[in-house]
Structure 1
């Protein structure tokens, strides 16, 4: 993800910058499966361009991802992800195994000592999280109130991640060597054809005043 000339997503041979899992376990099904392109559309209104893809995660389930750029504001990148029951076995009552949609982006820190994560939680408390905090999870009213951001004051930029609170059960932060993960987790439950798991979220670069 390169926005305003800044490389945000981490990239290594063995680890992609943006991964999605189908379970609470790190690198569970979804992260290394082959994804196929299912559609590329430019809306008739010219408002948005999108790319759709999906990967088979077994047991009649797929992870589907639609990545969109809003043309009126190309600094916004939207990702709509879901775990969908495509062909669940007859003996299961129409429901799949227990799954959790876990969004796992890894961001590169250009200025690690100058970067922090900032958000206001649902209960109104304000948080600033700096490197060295290890792994932190936020649930219930401690979750960010639909928005949190990665702030690089040295670059004068913030990467804002907005999401639907009704779809996100847990937010997790984990610092690495020059990287940080800002994860979004859905609830953990079986899915059926009529009850997929979904997380719709977006990223926007914001100039700091």
Structure 2
């Protein structure tokens, strides 16, 4: 082998190294990440398959083999990254699980990429009602029902909460108060405030005294 051939094969002499060929889940993960980054940078309304493919470093045809439109990729990516509370299997610590759910939500809100993407999707959904419907069906509801709702349904299924108490208003108490705090204070609440939401609002609404310990 000549020095010239050896240099070319080893990537020396200023030649760029050949890109690693990605397949399966590795490629899907790269496309998901690219879709989220493109949405955060350009907005949902200006999202294109070309832009996603370029950022992911793959051919546009690779995208069309699995998805029909850019929003399909974004919603699937959001499904994979959207945080979802996992209540205790035995449904024996309602207060602790509710606090954990709201902490999970609080810690996810400031995450730059997720917050920008969610903001862009919701903004576009004001002009496209079908996108709003898909966001709830394919992301929020598909991932278990969203934070405290996930916990409350889990405890109702285990017979620890009367299902009749679980109205849409009760489901939304924790999330609504968390969001209101952010709007009023331009920040996120500390753990004590989250515990107060659970003790003073959610637990009484489902029939437990404030500060109720583990549910036996």
TM range (shorter): under 0.3
**Larger helix proportion of the pair:** 2
Normalising by the residue count of structure 1, what TM-score does the alignment of the two structures yield? 0.23
Which structure would you say has the larger Rg? 2
**Larger strand proportion of the pair:** 1
